Structure 1
Amino acid sequence: MSQTPPPELASLRQSIDNIDAALVHLLAERFKFTQQVGVLKAATGLPASDPDREAVQVARLRALAEQSHLDPAFAEKFLNFIVAEVIHHHESIATGSVATRASEVDES
Structure 2
Amino acid sequence: MNYDSTASSLTDTTDPAILEELLSIRSSIDNIDATLVYLLAERFKCTQKVGRLKAKHELPPSDPEREKAQIKRLHSLARDAELDPAFAEKFLNFIIEEVIRHHKAISQEHQ
Q: TM-score range by the shorter chain?
A: 0.7 to 0.9
Alignment root-mean-square deviation, CA: 1.3
Whole-Å separation in 2 of the counterparts to 1:2 and 1:14: 20
Equivalent in 8, 11, 14 of residue 3 of structure 1: 14
Separation in 2, partners of 1:3, 1:17:
21
Give the % identical residues.
61
Unaligned runs of 5+ in 2: 1-11
Counterpart-to-counterpart distance in 1, 2:22 and 2:60? 48
User: Within the alignment, does 1:96 sit opposite 2:88 as a pair?
Assistant: no
Corresponding position: 1:52 with 2:70? no
**What stretches of structure 1 of length at least 5 have no aligned partner?**
98-108
Task: State the partner residue of 1:77.
Answer: 90
Residue 101 of structure 1 is matched in structure 2 by: none
Residues 22-45 of structure 1, C-alpha deviation per residue, up to 9 Å, x if partnerless? 000000000000000000000001
Q: What does the per-residue CA deviation read over 1:61-95, in whole Å, with 9 as the maximum and x for residues that have no partner? A: 01000011100000000000000000000000000
Higher relative contact order (CA 8 A, sep 6+): 1
Q: TM-score, normalised by structure 2?
A: 0.84
TM-score normalized by the length of structure 1: 0.86
**Over alpha carbons, which structure has the higher Rg?**
2
